[in-house]
Amino acid sequence: MQTQTTQDLIKMLPFKEDFKEDLLKNYYTLTDDQRFGIERIVWDYYDALYEIRLQKNMQLAKERAEKNEEKLDHDFYARINTQTEQELQEEFSDTETTVDLSDARDELEKILKKPQEQ
């Protein structure tokens, strides 16, 4: 399993490119509270998308296992996790993705617009 940073997720999630660039450019100039808010939103959205895809992949893999098309061995869960991560990365890199992250973008923009306290 690959270790991801918040910046990795910002790059990967299907936000508009100019929004990603602005968010990444300003990330380290934000207050701790602003960065924490951004991290929470980004990770929550990624985790929700990942969990939905993982559950779908687990169900499909179990169905394949019932047909002897998938091994139920000690690597089963790791294989499905890896598959899920790869699928999400491929899906998010596709510019035609159908994931609607407008709510997340709106919340992130609100955080970015808060005055930075010194």
User: Would you kindly state where each structural domain of the chain is located, as residue ranges?
Assistant: 6-113
DSSP alpha helix (H) spans, the chain? 6-12, 17-26, 32-66, 76-93, 102-113
Give Dmax (Cα) for the chain.
61
Q: Cα dist. 47→32, 53, 56, 58, 98 in Å?
A: 22, 10, 14, 16, 17
In this prediction, residue 108 carries a pLDDT of 74
Per-residue pLDDT of the chain (118 residues; tens, 9 = 90+): 456 789 988 888 878 888 889 889 989 898 999 999 999 999 998 899 999 999 999 999 999 999 999 999 999 999 999 999 999 888 877 654 445 566 666 777 777 676 655 4
Q: Nearest to residue 22, comparing CAs of 92, 105, 99?
A: 105
- Please count the other Cβ atoms lying within 10 Å of the Cβ belonging to residue 6: 19
